[in-house]
Amino acid sequence: MTIKQLERSIRAIADFPKEGILFRDITTLLGDKKAFNSAINLLAKPYKSKKIDVVVAVESRGFIFGAVLAYKLGCGFVMVRKKGKLPYKTYSVTYELEYGTDTLEIHQDAIARGARVLIVDDLLATGGTIKAVSDLVEQMSAKIIGVCFLIELVALSGRKKLKGLHIHSLIKF
């Protein structure tokens, strides 16, 4: 499938979750085996020769893409979760949201020093979440090879917060 065909497989819902927001619903892409398969193959393509050790993905939709990409790239998979959801010793980072803050955590033993890491999420919006995740990964002395997204909302300028990172996004709205 082409990128344009993938774009068309994503449903746009006006005024969700609140008025003035145009929500990009990926459930339609996920439910279409051809679209989902194509999206995974296109997301994985730039990283096939990069010798990725581990894919790090963000709760919760990032897990969908992260786990499949880890399988496709033949590497490990690490979850970054909201505070209090992981059972072992964690590193945490608190970051700014539009209204308030949030905290993400990763197990302290999840990534080996010097590991080659690909960070994955479904959507790049303002960049705050992935910036926080990249801070966690760097705290663990790992090397971020890239960050990838199914969708990038270009008008929200999330790339600005991710300077110095290689960014790969399939679909740009």
Q: Active-site positions? A: 61, 98
Report the alpha-carbon distance of residue 45 to residue 64 in Å, rounded. Answer: 17
Choose among 65, 106, 111: nearest CA to 82: 106
Other Cβ atoms closer than 10 A to 111: 23
Report the alpha-carbon distance of residue 16 to residue 155 in Å, rounded. Answer: 18
Beta carbons of 148 and 117 less than 8 angstroms apart: no
CA 136 to chain centre: 14
Choose among 46, 61, 171, 60: nearest CA to 118: 46
Residue 51, helix vs strand vs coil: coil
Residue 96, helix vs strand vs coil: strand
Other Cβ atoms closer than 10 A to 173: 15
